[in-house]
Amino acid sequence: MDILKTAVFAGSFDPITLGHVAIVRRATALADKVIVAVGNNSDKKYMFPIEERLLRVQKAFASMDSVECRAYDGLTIDLCRKCGAQILLRGVRSTLDFEYERQVAEVNRLLAPDIETVLLIADPSTATISSTMVRELLLHGKDVSNLIP
């Protein structure tokens, strides 16, 4: 009997970028199902409301049958358990990202040793794209159509 592998790729996706899409595309080769989870943290100020962020994520992956999109509150590792995910997927653009993600992965391993964190290095063509940068450009009225799906 084959065990289906499920991966969770979580983020605020405020907004989703081509870098996020590239990571998820690569993740579909590692897992049978990839859940793109749009986080909602009541302590964080977002540019776009959760409903719009989720809708944008759903549109970005509408043609990918193995990708499921959902919103969530709480700890990502708890979502992984709830979904039966074996993999927590994270994208890394730089050494700063790596150090932060390494620390989070260590805590998650303590909380859920059965869930493996997998770090995917961003493709050089999308490594400079961040949601923070896209939001800043949007605030200044710049065209970001080449950075977001």
Burial class (CB in 10 A: 0-12, 13-18, 19+), 75: middle
Residue range 59-116, pLDDT digits in tens: 999 999 999 999 999 999 999 999 999 999 999 999 999 999 999 999 999 999 999 9
Evaluate whether 87 touches 28 at the Cβ level (below 8 Å): no
At residue 43, the pLDDT reads 85
Residue range 7-56, pLDDT digits in tens: 999 999 999 999 999 999 999 999 999 999 999 988 889 999 999 999 99
Crossing angle between the packed helical segments 76-83 and 95-111, to the nearest 10 degrees: 60
Q: Does residue 45 lie within any of the structural domains? A: yes
Q: How many domains does the chain have?
A: 1
What is the set of active-site residues? 20, 44, 93, 131
pLDDT band for 4, please (50, 70, 90 cuts). Answer: confident
**Residue 70: which CATH number?**
3.40.50.620
At residue 2, the pLDDT reads 60
Q: Does residue 57 lie within any of the structural domains? A: yes
Q: Does residue 94 lie within any of the structural domains? A: yes
Evaluate whether 5 touches 32 at the Cβ level (below 8 Å): yes
